[in-house]
Each structure stands twice: as C-alpha cells, then as structure tokens.
Amino acid sequence: MSTQEADVSASLFVNEIPKWGEPSAHILNRPSLLECLSDYIRQVNLYGYRPDNRKVLAVRSSDRCVTLRNAGTPVRQEVYYFIEGELFPEEGTTRLPEGRDAEQLAEKLLTERYEQLSIWTAYDFTKGSPPGFRKPFDFPPVLKGSSDPNPEGKSRGSGVKGVNPLFFLPDPAPISAGESGFLPDVATGEILRYVTALVVTDFRNALPEGDNLPIWDAPLVGIASASDPLFERFQDPEVVGPGHRLPHEWLPGAQSIISIFLPFTKEITRNYTKGQRYSAIEFSSGKWNGSKFLNVVRRALLRFAEQHGATAVAPNIDPRYDSDGWLPFWSERHAAFAAGLGTFGLHQNFISEKGCLGRLCSVVTTLKLLPTIRTYTDIYGYCLYAFDASCHACIRRCPTGAVTDVGKIPGRCEQHGNKEHFKGWGYGSCGHCSTLIPCSREIPARIRNTITNNGEEPV
C-alpha cells in the first residue's frame, strides 16, 4: 500500500479528538452542517411554523459531513441527532423570526451549539476512551478513600475452597438499606418507563446490517445516593484508584446517580456458537453501534433531569472524562454496583439480574431519588467461581488467556485478532467471555439453588 493510499484509508476512520481549545475541523464539517440547518429551518417555516420531529442530522464517519434526512434505517459508520428535542430541546428554537432569513438563524444556532455537537460526534465515533477534548477539572481530586484502606496492595484471598488464593476479594461493601423519610423528586419507575420507551421507539437501537435487528432489550435502572461511602472506597488503589472522581466533583450539589443496564437482545447472539473463534457479526456490530446508543441514553437522561427542574452530568461523555491507563475517572461498573444493579464476575464483566451480556451507562444528577437497596455485600457476589469455585466457563471461553483464575489481564483481549477478522466491517469486539456461559442472561442459577446446563448458557 502506498503512503497516499494509507493516508486515504486512515481518513475513513478518523478517531482523533483534539485537546480542549484546539481546532475541531476533523470532528464535524461545519459548512455541511450550516447548509442542513438552513434547509431544515426553511422547511419548517414554509407554511407557518411546524417543527418536524422526524428530521435528523446524519454525520458520516468518512468525512464528517452532515446530511438532513428523516429518521429511518441506520447506516453503518453514521451517527444521528434529532434536530427537535435533542439538538434543540427548547420548543420554538427553530422558529424563524420576522425579518431574518434561514441562513442567519442557522448561523446563530450553529454558533451556540457547534462545540456541543462536535463533542457528541467525537464521542459517538471514537472507539474506547476518547484521547482528547480534555477540559480539565478546575481543582485537584478530593482523595478520601475508605476507612480501611489497603495501601500495601496486599491481596485479601477469598478463602473459598478451590478458589485460587491469589484471587483478590476486596473487603465487603457496607449493607445498603436505602434511604427513607423523604419524597423523591421522581419515582424510579418513571425513569424506567422513560428509558424503556427510548429503547423501544428510537430508530438508532438497531443494527445497520441484515434485517436491522434490535440491539438492546428492556433496561434495568438502579439508583445510588451521591453521598454513598462506596464512592470514596472506589478511590482506593485496589479498587479503581485515586483518579476516580467523586459524584460532587462531577456536579456540585449532586444528590443521586442513575445507573442503567441494557441487555443485548437474543438476536444479537443467535449466530454466536461455542465452536467459532471469532464473534458473530451481529455481536460485533451490536457492540459498536450499541455503544453509540448508550450515548443516546446518556443524553436523554440529561434532558430528563432538565425537564424535572434539575441538572445532570454524564461523566463518560463529559469533556473532563479521562483515564490513567486502564483506570477511569468514572467507572460505569462500580457506579452500577453502588446502585444495586449487580456485582462483578471473574471475567470483570458486570453481572446483573439479566446477566452480564449487556452494557452500562450512568448520569450524576441533582435530582433527589430513592436509592436502590443493594441485596449483596460481596463485589463478586453473583459469580459462581468466587461463590464456590464451581465454574470456570469464562476461563475456558477466552481465546487469549486473558481470563484466569486470579482475574482478568487488562489489554490481552487486543491480541485476539477479532479486529482484523471484521476489519472490512469496521468492527472487532470479542464477546467470548460474556456469551454462552451461566451468567450470560441471568444471575448464575446455582446461587438461586437451581441447576444450570453443565456450564452452557441457560435457555
């Protein structure tokens, strides 16, 4: 391949995100966006003012150009933003004032929203933790840690017969009894209905390939108090690390954390068998396109909070989000643990009551919400290996040896070759350690005193 060909090939999947304050020309094509907004404003003001809730801005990954179209079937390597309600949540924003033409209003609106939309597009197109848009925190991290830190990093062995004594088990989490004596600003059931409706109705919850199968199934919602001492415990070096920011550092006045678990639909794994070395195309596509939908949910929860008179921040798509190697400034899995949604497994996936075959997202908000009661204290409480050493399914499933009987080796998954296998599709996620194992779709049955199919995924 020539240098010129290599440059063209690399430009098709531009993932570079500029540092805060640097030009963002590679993130979003401004002239095409201005043209689309101008055209939309003309259309909705042609016969009176009739905003169109179907219209979306479609951004291509190849050149970051924007087109205007109706919501429909997703196309590979594109992301979409509804103009009304998402880009412009305030009613009447696109109404054309008397004496002003469409280009003038479009330029005004674009000046106000271009940076925000560029950040959205950057996060939606970047695989993994984005390397840029680093708007620093205004203050150094507040380091509190737990009341019983382990500064030497000594392993606390499980003590369970048959479990490798080097398998690390942190101290038990405090029992969660929830909070009482107040009326929540919003019932948790209302949040669940809101996110469920989004999952069911939003056209972006679909694969761009084949029959456009749905990616995500009905969600789970958990709530944690922003003052839960677990968030201080997450700063200990043997948990996440000192870079993990506290809720009030993300949002002064934070009251609650809303955590969402989205399980993959069965269609995503119906062609994923135990015998194949690489994941099914539906799974790899679902992982990549599903990640973009997680950002849709995060942004929707920000609007939900605003609609209820509060504010919210989604740390994982906030410009201040960063990581120290594999240690993030905000861990979705640990936030979900605090919110009562489930525990970790040997494979380091998060196991909810709907299993580990799914993904997580969360927001920190000033809404006062009723915390979900945690029914566990052990961080590996739903893992059969940690429970009684009876299961090694995820160890056997891993093609690289990344999952061992002392935990998971960060980064080794990258050696699998799944990315090369699906290079032509633009995907590459492996899902061996979350599919076709007892905890894929539920809490492992043995902990509920029933029997699994000898290590096979429950039917």
Of the listed ranges 88-102, 225-239, 410-424, the one predicted with least confidence: 410-424
259 and 385 share a domain?
yes
**Confidence grade of residue 40 (pLDDT, cut at 50, 70, 90):** very high
Tell me, yes or no, if the pTM score tops 0.85.
yes
121 and 194 share a domain?
no
Quick check: is 221 in a domain? yes
Single out the residue in 108, 125, 142 at which a domain terminates: 125
Quick check: is 3 in a domain? no
Single out the residue in 75, 95, 125 at which a domain terminates: 125
> Can you list the positions of beta strands (E) in 75-152?
78-82
Q: 273 burial class (0-12, 13-18, 19+ CB within 10 angstroms)? A: exposed
Count the domains in the chain.
Answer: 2
109 and 232 share a domain?
no
Quick check: is 271 in a domain? yes
Name which of 154, 203, 199 is nearest 53 in CA terms: 203
Single out the residue in 125, 152, 167 at which a domain terminates: 125
Quick check: is 270 in a domain? yes
Q: Tell how far CA 371 is from the center of its chain.
A: 21
Quick check: is 345 in a domain? yes
What is the sign, positive or negative, of the torsion defined by CA atoms of 153, 174, 358, 89? negative
Quick check: is 67 in a domain? yes
215 and 351 share a domain?
yes
What residues does 8 pair with on adjacent strands? none
Q: How far apart are CA 304 and CA 309, in angstroms?
A: 9
115 and 234 share a domain?
no
Name which of 304, 387, 395 is nearest 349 in CA terms: 395
**Confidence grade of residue 290 (pLDDT, cut at 50, 70, 90):** very high
State the pLDDT at residue 446. 61
Q: What is the 3-state secondary structure (H, E, C) of 355-380?
A: ECCEEEEEEEECCCCCCCCCCCCCCC
388 and 252 share a domain?
yes
Range of the domain at 95: 13-125
107 and 225 share a domain?
no
93 and 198 share a domain?
no
241 and 104 share a domain?
no
Tokens of 295: 């950002």
pLDDT per residue over 313-347, tens digit each?
Answer: 999 999 888 888 778 999 999 999 999 999 999 99
316 and 409 share a domain?
yes
Q: How far apart are CA 369 and CA 435, in angstroms?
A: 34
DSSP secondary structure letter of residue 173: P
